[in-house]
Structure 1
C-alpha cells in the first residue's frame, strides 16, 4: 500500500493506494474507498537493438589440431595443458623409469614429467617456451 498527500483547491487529502490493475485503482481518500480509472498515455515499448553478425565460414582444415604420430617407441604425452618450462633431456640420453624428463608449467606451478619406462630418448617434439595441450606428444622413448 502506498500513501500520498494531495492538495486540491486548497484542501488536503490523505490518499492510500490499495490496488492497481490495468487502468483501475482502489484508493482510500480520507477514509472513504473509491474505485477510479486512470487515464494515461501508453508509453511505446523500447526496442532492444539486435546484434547482426555475419556467419563464420571456416576454411578447410581450420580449427583442427593435427596430432603428430610417432614412428614407434613409447610416447610421453602432456598430462595437462601448460607450457614447457625446462627440458632436462636431449635426443640420445638414456633414462630410467622415474627420471625427470622436463618441467611443465601449468596454473603457475612447475610440474615434473617423469619417464614411465626406461630407454633412450628417440625424439623430442617440443622446445622450451612451447604451449601444449593435454595429451600432446612431448617426446618419444625407445
Structure 2
C-alpha cells in the first residue's frame, strides 16, 4: 500500500502498510511484519471546527440615555426575528415588548427601557440580525 520513512532518536525506520481492514492494520517495519489493532476508528471531518474563546468581560445590559431624544434598540445577540409587536407611530411605555428574537433555540423578548413613540422599524419577521444591529428607533 503505502511506504513511509521515520527517524526516531537517530534510528531510521522503513514502514510499509500492507493491509487495512476495519480496526486491524498489517504493516512491515524494517522487514518485520506486525499486525496492530486500532483502539477506535479514526474519523476525519471535512469541515474544520471553529472554536471561539469565551468573552473576557460579562455581557452588559442595554442602557438607554433618558435625556437623549432618539433611542436605538439594538439586537443583544445574533438571531432571527420571530415577531415584531410594534409599527411606526405606536406609543410604547417601559417594559412593552417590541420584538421577539430567536437565538440559540431560545425566544428572547426585547422590551422597551424608555417610553416613547416608534419612529422606525428596521426589521421584519424571519429576518436574521447580527449583534448590535439596530432593530427599532424611538423618540
What TM-score do you get using the length of structure 1 for normalisation? Answer: 0.50
1:131 aligns with 128
Gapped runs of 5+ residues in structure 2?
1-9, 13-29, 32-68
Q: Which among 109, 113, 129 is matched to residue 110 of structure 2?
A: 113
For these two proteins, the number of residue pairs brought into alignment is: 77
2:73 aligns with 76
Output the CA distance in 2 between the equivalents of 1:136 and 1:123: 14
Cα gap change, 1:22 to 1:111, in 2 (>3 Å)? closer
Larger radius of gyration: 1
Alignment partner of 2:108: what SS? strand
Alignment partner of 2:109: what SS? strand
Output the CA distance in 1 between the equivalents of 2:115 and 2:11: 82
Cα gap change, 1:22 to 1:136, in 2 (>3 Å)? closer
What TM-score do you get using the length of structure 2 for normalisation? Answer: 0.51
Is residue 98 from structure 1 mapped to residue 91 from structure 2 by the alignment? no
Output the CA distance in 1 between the equivalents of 2:125 and 2:90: 17
RMSD: 2.3
